Structures are given as structure tokens and as C-alpha cells.
């Protein structure tokens, strides 16, 4: 799939932007703080209705403005589609989604129209950090593939919050409403019927692809990279009643903790190298290769599941990679629309179908984007002071 146009309005430091990107590689040059990542973030919003770096929508609304909007026109095998997101943090309806310029009922209507895979230096956290990062990776991947998954996840989290609210209330001395707990536990168990099998299935696929990518990058057949779903239910079989029973059994302990100890919100992905836990012993180089392999595997899963190539967003990754890893990534970029932030054009030698842009700040310090013609020197910019309030 290809993004044919991007439109922003009061999004981060963009007052207004209309961009018709190249179907190949789009390189964004610009000083720190000029708005390169902000542009990738806007594309991410159009795919998932949320940022990749903050969970607070208000942060992306241009300072002093009441609303922000971003939209893209996407060309897919089966035609064109127009999607947009409008954020109005001060109003009762804080987030609105538009599909084909018509307001959609639900956020889930946005999902599945645009698929993107984002690479950033924070990907290393996928290997190094706790389970939450890996769950988010899985949830973002599956939400872009299946509206059913996204809806089930929303239902699950709503019920989980309600159950937790009761637990905290009882802990503070409130009356234990067993009937309410029964209802919320049932409401948590039902979506698990969708979530667990989909997580299992996609992890099988991811593990296979990531294993191959890892081998290709490391060049070592002996290092086997493994990904395994570590779910709340250890065995296959009926799901709803087992989740419901486990939640009921855990009630007493959960009240003491004021939180729910069992469920898919505790799931994880075990990452191993030749059978050993990566978090315990992996070197920096192995961590980098693993993180990159996981993202490349995500691309491959999107391709297989949708028959379309996703859009790639690469934020400051090239300079972090050595030659071998860079070459692997460049190979994957061929024939895939890519948006890449970059400081050094030599990082991208060998990439043919490309266009360069300069992201810079105008006098009123809003971001602008202009195409750089071939051979043109990028004029130096005055030093720019970041607004400390927005850090």
C-alpha cells in the first residue's frame, strides 16, 4: 500500500501541511527538534488512532490550539481510501475518526485501512524491558490486522478496570459486591476467546519469520532466535470458563493487592537464543539483531495476512545500525513505501527510488516540509532552541 497524500492541521509543531509523498523512500532531513518524528507520528495516528510515543492525545495538539487533525489517502490493491483522525481534548468527544470523509462511529473503524511498521531506537526495549512493551507490540500488530481483536481488547480492558475499581474499594473497607465481580469477570473472560487464539496464532507466524530474519542478519546458523507466547493459560482447550474460574479463585489475593493478578494483561513473549532467555545474557549486538528481526517479521506477517506491503516508518535507526544490519533493512525497503528520518544521506546509498525533503521551522516556529532537488545542498539553519515546556 502507498500513502498518496498526508494532511496535517495543528498537529504538534505543524500548523498546516499537505504532502504528496513518493511511493518509494521518503527521506526527511532536518535539525533536531524540527518536526521529523512528528510527521511519522502523524502517519502512525492514521493507522492506529494513537501515537507511538505517548498515550496522551493532548500532547500532539499544537500548543495553544483546541484541536489537531491528521489524515492520509492510501492506495491499496483494491482501491483508494481516505482516513483521518481529529483530536479535540477539551470536548466531550475527544477523538473522532473519519473514513472516506464521513465520521465513523468507532475508533475501530479506522483500523486495518493503513498498516505501518515503525522502527526506532526504542525497539531495543522489546528485548530488554518488561512484558508490557512486548504486549504492546503484539496488540498494535494484531489491532492493525483485525478489528475484532481491537474490539475484544477494548472490552477486556474496560472490564478489567471495572473489576480493579471494585477490588480497590473492597480493600479500603467497602462491601464486597460478589455479583458485580461475577459480571466483570465474565466480561473479561469472553473477549479472551478472541484474544488468546489470535495471540497464539500470530506468535507462531512471527516466531518463524523472526527466526529466519535473525539467521540472515547474524549469518550464524548456530544462533537460533526463538519467540514463544507465554500466556495466562498454559494449555490449549476451552478458554472462557478457565479464565472465569481463575479470576474467581484469585479474588481474595487480588483484593489484598488491589489489582488483578491473572489475565491476558499479564501475558508476555519469551525471547530466546538457542533456548536461553535473552534478557539474562544477550549481548548488545544480539539484542539489536533480535529487535530488528521482530520488526521485520511484523512486516512479513502483514504481507502474508493482507497481501499488501505495509508502510515503513524509520525513525533515527540507520545511524545506530552496523553495515550488515543496515543492508538487511535496506533490502526490506525495496518496493516498500518508507518514511525515514536521517542525518546522513550516505546511510542510504544504494536506495534508488527515493525523494528527499527538508523539515525546517518557519518564522512563527511552525514546521514546514520542502522537497530537495537532486544535487542541491541543504542550507544550514540557525540553531534552534527547543521549547522547554514541550519536552
By CB under 6 A, name the binding residues for ligand ADP: 12-13, 30, 32-38, 59-63, 341, 359, 386-387, 390
> What does DSSP assign to residue 51?
-
Judged by beta carbon, residue 37 or residue 358, the one nearer Mg ion is 37
Tallying the residues shown for the chain, one arrives at: 391
Q: How far is the CB of 62 from ligand ADP (least distance, A)?
A: 4
Q: How far is the CB of 348 from Mg ion (least distance, A)?
A: 17
Query: Cell numbers of 305, please?
Result: 495476512
Query: Cell numbers of 214, please?
Result: 535473525
Q: Which residue is nearest to Mg ion (CB)?
A: 37
Residue 120 near which of Mg ion, ligand ADP, none (CB within 5-8 Å, type-dependent): none
Q: How far is the CB of 337 from ligand ADP (least distance, A)?
A: 19
Report residue 140: phi and psi, to 5°. -70, -40
Judged by beta carbon, residue 229 or residue 339, the one nearer ligand ADP is 339
> What does DSSP assign to residue 13?
T
Judged by beta carbon, residue 349 or residue 386, the one nearer ligand ADP is 386
Residue 26 near which of ligand ADP, Mg ion, none (CB within 5-8 Å, type-dependent): none
Residue 38 near which of Mg ion, ligand ADP, none (CB within 5-8 Å, type-dependent): ligand ADP
**What separation in angstroms does the CA of 96 have from each of 58, 113, 346?**
13, 16, 41
Judged by beta carbon, residue 301 or residue 318, the one nearer ligand ADP is 318
Q: How far is the CB of 66 from ligand ADP (least distance, A)?
A: 12
Residues that bind Mg ion (CB under 5 A): 37
Residue 44 near which of Mg ion, ligand ADP, none (CB within 5-8 Å, type-dependent): none
Nearest to 10 by CA among 73, 58, 72: 58
Q: How far is the CB of 187 from Mg ion (least distance, A)?
A: 40
Judged by beta carbon, residue 111 or residue 314, the one nearer ligand ADP is 314
Q: How far is the CB of 89 from ligand ADP (least distance, A)?
A: 11
Judged by beta carbon, residue 202 or residue 342, the one nearer Mg ion is 342
Give just the sign of the alpha carbon dihedral 319, 37, 43, 378: negative
In this structure, how many other beta carbons lie within 10 angstroms of the beta carbon of residue 21? 23
Residue 170 to residue 256: CA distance in whole angstroms:
9
Judged by beta carbon, residue 274 or residue 343, the one nearer Mg ion is 343
Q: How far is the CB of 25 from ligand ADP (least distance, A)?
A: 17
Q: Which residues of 213-240 are buried (b: 16+ CB within 10 A; e: fewer)?
A: bbbebbeeeeeebbbebebbbeeeeebe
Instruction: Name residues whose C-beta falls within 8 Å of residue 300's C-beta, 6 or more positions apart in sequence.
Output: 209, 213
Report residue 83: phi and psi, to 5°. -130, 150
Amino acid at each position: 500500500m502507498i500513502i498518496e497524500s498526508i494532511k496535517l492541521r495543528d498537529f504538534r509543531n505543524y500548523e498546516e501541511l499537505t504532502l504528496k509523498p513518493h511511493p518509494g523512500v521518503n527521506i526527511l532531513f532536518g535539525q533536531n527538534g524540527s518536526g521529523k518524528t512528528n510527521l511519522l507520528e502523524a502517519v502512525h495516528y492514521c493507522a492506529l488512532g494513537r501515537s507511538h510515543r505517548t498515550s496522551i492525545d493532548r500532547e500532539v495538539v499544537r500548543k495553544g490550539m483546541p484541536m489537531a487533525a491528521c489524515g492520509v489517502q492510501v492506495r491499496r490493491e483494491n482501491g483508494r481510501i481516505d482516513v483521518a483522525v481529529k483530536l479535540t481534548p477539551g470536548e466531550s468527544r475527544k477523538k473522532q475518526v473519519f473514513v472516506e470523509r464521513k465520521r465513523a462511529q468507532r475508533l475501530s473503524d479506522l483500523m486495518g485501512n493503513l498498516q505501518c511498521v515503525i522502527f526506532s531506537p526504542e525497539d531495543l526495549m522489546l528485548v530488554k524491558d518488561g512484558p508490557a512493551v512486548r504486549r504492546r507490540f503484539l496488540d498494535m500488530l494484531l489491532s492493525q490486522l483485525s478489528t475484532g481483536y481491537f474490539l475484544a481488547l477494548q472490552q477486556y480492558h474496560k472490564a478489567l478496570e471495572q473489576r480493579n475499581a471494585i477490588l480497590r474499594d473492597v480493600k479500603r473497607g467497602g462491601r464486597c459486591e460478589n455479583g458485580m465481580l461475577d459480571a466483570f469477570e465474565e466480561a473479561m473472560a469472553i473477549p479472551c476467546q478472541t484474544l488468546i487464539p489470535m495471540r497464539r496464532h500470530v506468535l507462531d507466524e512471527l516466531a518463524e519469520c523472526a527466526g529466519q530474519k535473525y539467521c540472515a542478519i547474524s549469518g550464524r546458523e548456530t544462533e537460533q532466535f526463538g519467540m514463544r507466547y507465554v500466556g495466562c493459560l498454559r494449555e490449549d482447550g476451552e478458554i472462557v470458563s478457565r479464565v472465569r474460574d481463575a479470576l474467581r479463585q484469585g479474588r481474595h489475593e487480588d483484593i489484598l493487592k488491589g489489582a488483578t493478578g491473572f489475565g491476558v494483561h499479564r501475558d508476555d513473549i519469551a525471547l530466546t537464543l538457542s533456548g536461553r532467555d535473552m534478557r539474562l545474557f544477550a549481548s548488545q549486538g544480539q539484542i539489536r539483531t533480535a529487535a530488528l528481526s521482530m520488526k521485520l517479521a511484523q512486516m512479513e506477517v502483514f504481507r502474508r495476512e493482507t497481501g499488501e506491503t505495509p508502510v515503513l516508518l524509520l525513525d533515527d535507526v540507520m545511524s545506530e545500525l552496523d553495515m550488515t544490519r543496515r543492508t538487511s533493512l535496506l533490502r526490506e525497503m525495496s518496493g516498500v513505501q518508507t518514511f525515514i528520518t536521517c542525518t546522513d544521506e550516505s546511510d542510504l546509498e544504494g536506495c534508488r527510488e527515493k525523494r528527499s525533503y527538508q523539515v525546517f521551522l518557519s518564522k512563527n516556529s511552525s514546521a514546514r516540509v520542502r522537497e530537495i532537488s537532486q544535487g542541491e545542498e541543504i542550507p544550514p539553519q540557525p540553531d534552534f532552541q527547543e521549547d522547554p515546556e514541550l519536552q
